[in-house]
Structure formats: C-alpha cells, structure tokens
C-alpha cells in the first residue's frame, strides 16, 4: 500500500533515518510508519560515521550508577540525575536488543564483549564493532531490520514543515521532493533529524546536518532548550576535507597523545590530560592553535602499527590523506560535532506541542547537559525510542483539518548564503566566544534570515542563546565571562510560528 493511501488515523511519520529514526520506527511496529529520509536508506546520516561505540555498563567492575555518575560529571551541572540513571540502566538491555537484530559487536577470545575506554569514563564500557566502525555496523543492522518490517515504508524526501490543526496540534508533515511540496497527514510525528554541525565551516557532520528539525519545531511553537551548547570534537583530522574525517576519542583511550610540532604535550598541566572531557581538550587544542602551534595526535609506534586491525576506519582516513600513523603524527583540530541542545522533551520524548515527539540529537532530554559524555549519543537515541513508541500508542489521534493551508513554494537553496553562515558560525560561535563576536554574528545572521536563509535562522537561534548565557559552562565558553553562575537551563519558545527566531522568554528551568 502506498504511503499516500495510508489512513492518517493510523500512520506515524518518523523523519530521519539514523539510529534514532530507525530504532523508533522498529519500536512502533506493527503500527504503520512512514519513515522519511533525505537520502537513500543507510546514507547521509551521522550514525554511519560514529566511530567510538555505545557506552553501556557491561563489565564486571561496572554498574549503571557509575555510568550515570560519569555522565553527570561531564554534563557540567545541567545533566538531570534521574535521566542519566534511567538511560544508563537501559544500556545493557539495548546492547542485547542490537545483538538480537544481528549487530556484530567485537568480542574477546572468551566471547565476552570487547570494552574500550574513552575520555571521562571511569571504566572500560565502550561497546564497539569492527574496531572503529560501530556506527556503520549498527546502522546496517537497523536498516536490515527496517527493510524486513512490513509496517514500515520508506519515503525519500526533504522535510519542509509541520502540519497543525486548529488547536495547534501537529497532524502531519509538509515534505518536498524535486522542488515540489506535498502533505503527509499523520496521527503523530517524530523528529529524528540529527544535529547542526554543518552550520559550521569545520565539522565532522554530513552536509545535511543543518538543524532542520529544530527550525520546523520552532515554527510550530515548540520550546527549545540549551541551544548554545555545541560540542566540538577535539580531534578532527586537519587534512583539507569537508566534512572533516574524525580520529576517534578511543585512540587516546588506547594511549595516543596530543603534541605540538616540537613534540611537547599539548594537555600537560591540565586535569585529566589527554583523557579530559571533550570541551576541555577542545579548548586546549584551540588555545594552542591560537598561539600559532600545530597540533598532532601522536599514534606512532605500537599503537600506529596495530591501527589497521584496531582502528581500520581511522587508518583508512589517514591513508587517504597520505599519513602513515605508525610513523607520522596525525594533524588535528576541533570541529563542530554534536549539539547538546534541542527540542525540549519529557521522559517519553514528547515536545511541548501536542502530536510532536523528538528523538536523538535533535532533542534535549536532560541526559547530556552542557557537555555530552563520549559514546552516550547512540545510547540516548536507543533508550528513548521505545518510550516514544509507548507514548504514541497511548495518545489519541488528532482532529482532521478541513481547510489546510496552501502548499508553499520551495525556493532553491542559496549556496552563497549557506557558505556565509558557516563562516560566521565558525568565527563567532565556536570553541571560545565573546560578546563582540556573538553580537556581530547576530546582526548578520538576522539579515540573512530575513532574506530567506533557513540555515541563518537556525544559526541565529543558537547564537542568541550563546549571547544570553553570560558564563562559561561545559561546551559553551565565554572569554568575557570565564566564571560560572548558578546552574540553569536556557529555555525559549518562539513568539509566533512565522517568526521562529524571535525569543519570547529566556527563563530558568
């Protein structure tokens, strides 16, 4: 049966085909689901590029409470303890679920899961697959499961906006394909559209990671939270590629060190050293670069020699750049990697707008706080997917709209405007921020937004949130406000659906 023939009273639309969207679609079975993906299934998603693994307390010396404690410590005062513990407790069962779907995780000689160590984890708890190809392995298993599930239909299209009934409840999506818009009514919509990294000139994210889900949710009136917290991965490979290839944090867990061109350790004297939280390491590298140094990840010696087996993805990326990591250090620099902020959701993944749920990076669940703990991203999406499915099953269907608004015209993407936005975000809303740079960015992004740039509109929301937070916390570092204020979330709701960047309020939450 065609997706257009399905009854809106039954259909759930899931937008996004990374781990969050695929897991949610599978958890909703046998309810009819239309899965919307901007690229063919299995392509164009950040999940497939995830190298490190999935954090889960699987070791004999580990426990969910310890995992939760590490998550809280990394979150810099904004992680919600009950969310951290609930997600950590779900971890082992989620690994078992993935194994049952055919995910081939790496194992020791005795058959036990091979567990890696990453920064800010107190135990070895990173479950990996094919060395550093965890994301691709998990994605492939989920794609196979989706393709074998009759209740899930896949539609390749772009997301333009959300449909709402007279009461403001979300009742479907407006999509675009080949320059034309069309409606897809539904009883519920789940946004699993990923992050915002492609708003930056230096990023590890796919080109499509422009925060589209944030923008359409804002235009529907959904509350957004903590948008200023953008995580910059410390060790993107500086080899002239866009997006930038990633040198997984697990390399430092296995003994790689950060050095400058003279061989001096970059993180010397900093608490945690090379295994400090990501925000600390990113700032350390950023500051070294600002002093005119060149920063390298040094894997020379035994670690580099076994990289083809232990880290085949990074080894291949190095080979493409003409680097032999056994004898040459890898040039690295921070790059936009993960957005901790997002659509404010509750324990069931519900947004503040009826009929709209969010899962994965596009959401703000309370897990990551101001600085995501390494390898908690895939875990979060997997943990919230079944909760979202249960919540949708229990929700009533929306009322139908008798007179839907006319379909919008789909303007072509302005490549020049997008390039300008990426440059502005890189210069002014990056690893270290200040009032002057943020104010300059707001002025130009507002102008580009008014001229029709959706990327500028999304960047403007992030930048305004960054200007409003006059402190340094986690991944948000203000050189003009290096101290901390009492911990608070920043929450705002757009003033009107047609003015997504107008901040109505910024409150403690």
> Which residues are known to be catalytic?
278
- CA 488 centroid distance within chain: 21
Dihedral pair phi/psi, residue 449, rounded to 5°: -65, -45
Find out whether 446 and 487 touch, Cβ atoms under 8 Å. no
| Distance of alpha carbon 26 from alpha carbon 33, whole angstroms | 9
Rounded CA gap, 225 and 367, in Å?
Answer: 12
Gap between the Cα atoms of 357 and 20, Å rounded: 12
d(CA 247, CA 225): 29
β 363-364/152-156 pair status: unpaired
List own/partner pairs for 160-163 with CB under 8 A and 24 or more apart.
Answer: 160/216, 160/408, 160/410, 161/216, 161/219, 161/220, 161/408, 162/189, 162/216, 162/217, 162/219, 162/220, 162/356, 163/401, 163/404
Backbone angles phi, psi at 222, to 5 degrees: -75, 145
Residue 276: how many other CB atoms lie within 10 Å: 19
CA distance 269 to 99: 42
Task: Return the axis-axis angle of helices 454-468 and 435-450, rounded to nearest 10°.
Answer: 150
* Distances 18 to 15, 264, 356, 494 between C-alpha atoms, Å: 10, 39, 18, 27
Q: 303 with 284: CB under 8 angstroms?
A: no
Q: At a CB cut-off of 8 Å and minimum separation 6, what does 13 contact?
A: 33, 34, 36, 172, 173, 184, 186, 188, 189, 190
Query: What are the distances in angstroms from CA 297 to CA 334, 365, 443?
Result: 12, 33, 37
């Amino acid at each position: 049966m065609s997706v257009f023939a399905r009854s809106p009273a039954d259909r759930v639309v899931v937008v996004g085909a990374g781990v969050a969207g695929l897991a949610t679609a599978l958890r909703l079975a046998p309810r009819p689901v239309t899965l919307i993906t901007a690229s063919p299934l299995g392509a164009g998603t950040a999940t497939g590029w995830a190298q490190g693994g999935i954090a889960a307390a699987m070791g004999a010396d580990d426990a969910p409470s310890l995992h939760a404690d590490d998550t809280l410590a990394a979150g810099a005062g904004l992680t919600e303890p009950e969310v951290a513990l609930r997600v950590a407790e779900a971890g082992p069962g989620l690994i078992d679920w993935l194994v049952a779907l055919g995910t081939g995780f790496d194992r020791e000689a005795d058959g036990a899961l091979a567990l890696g160590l990453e920064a800010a984890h107190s135990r070895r708890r990173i479950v990996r697959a094919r060395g550093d190809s965890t994301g691709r392995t998990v994605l492939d298993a989920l794609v196979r499961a989706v393709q074998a599930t009759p209740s899930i239909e896949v539609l390749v299209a772009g997301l333009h906006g959300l449909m709402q009934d007279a009461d403001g409840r979300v009742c479907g999506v407006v999509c675009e394909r080949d320059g034309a818009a069309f409606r897809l009514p539904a009883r519920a919509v789940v946004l699993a559209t990923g992050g915002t990294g492609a708003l930056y000139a230096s990023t590890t994210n796919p080109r499509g990671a422009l925060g589209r889900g944030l923008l359409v949710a804002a235009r529907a009136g959904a509350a957004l939270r903590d948008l200023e917290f953008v995580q910059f991965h410390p060790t993107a490979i500086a080899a002239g590629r866009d997006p930038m290839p990633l040198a997984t944090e697990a390399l430092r867990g296995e003994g790689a060190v950060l050095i400058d061109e003279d061989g001096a350790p970059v993180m010397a004297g900093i608490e945690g050293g090379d295994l400090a939280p990501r925000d600390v390491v990113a700032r350390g590298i950023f500051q070294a670069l600002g002093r005119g140094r060149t920063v390298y990840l040094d894997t020379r010696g035994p670690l580099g020699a076994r990289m083809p087996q232990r880290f085949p993805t990074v080894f291949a990326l190095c080979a493409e750049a003409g680097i032999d990591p056994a004898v040459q250090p890898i040039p690295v620099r921070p790059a936009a990697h993960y957005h901790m902020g997002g659509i404010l959701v509750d324990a069931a993944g519900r947004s503040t707008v009826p009929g709209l749920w969010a899962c994965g990076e596009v959401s703000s669940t309370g897990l990551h706080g101001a600085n995501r703990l390494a390898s908690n991203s895939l875990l979060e999406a997997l943990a919230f997917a079944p909760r979202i499915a249960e919540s949708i099953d229990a929700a009533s269907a929306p009322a139908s709209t008798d007179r839907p608004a006319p379909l919008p015209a789909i303007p072509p993407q302005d490549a020049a405007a997008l390039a300008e936005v990426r440059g502005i975000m890189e210069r002014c809303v990056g690893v270290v921020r200040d009032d002057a740079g943020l104010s300059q960015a707001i002025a130009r992004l507002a102008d580009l937004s008014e001229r029709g740039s959706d990327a500028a509109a999304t960047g403007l929301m992030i930048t305004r949130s960054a200007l409003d937070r006059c402190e340094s916390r986690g991944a948000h570092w203000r050189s003009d406000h290096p101290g901390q204020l009492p911990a608070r979330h920043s929450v705002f709701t757009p003033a009107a659906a047609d003015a997504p960047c107008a901040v109505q309020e910024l409150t403690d939450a």
